[in-house]
Structure 1
Amino acid sequence: MSETLSVATIVGVGVMLLDQNQNVLLGLRIKAGEEHTWCFPGGKMKPLKRLNKQQQESFTKKQD
């Protein structure tokens, strides 16, 4: 007897941004039930979306 598992692939993206003085942009991650942490801007990628387009959108959303 064989069993088939259905597993979705989730791809995440993180962006490291440096300014002319080599300062790194970090975002403060505040999530219920977790400690606050600092992280690079990013998130989950939508299926079939190009990586550079996802990076641009992730950065733009963090600026709003």
Structure 2
Amino acid sequence: MSKVTLGVFIAAIALIVVAVALDSAVFAGGSGIILMVGLIYAFVVARRDAERGEVARPAGVNAAE
């Protein structure tokens, strides 16, 4: 994972935690926890795919470059 991707991921989790702590209406009722679990799952899957070399590339992009 690049430093930028990891930074964005950590910032997203931090914002969700702050929103839950401040009892934001958007994240009230436990939906913040669900979003956080979704972000963690997406991160784990993306990291696993990157380690395996299965990262999806846009059409026309050569993997050898």
Q: Please state which structure has a larger fraction of its residues in helix.
A: 2
Q: Please state which structure has a larger fraction of its residues in strand.
A: 1
TM-score by length of 2: 0.28
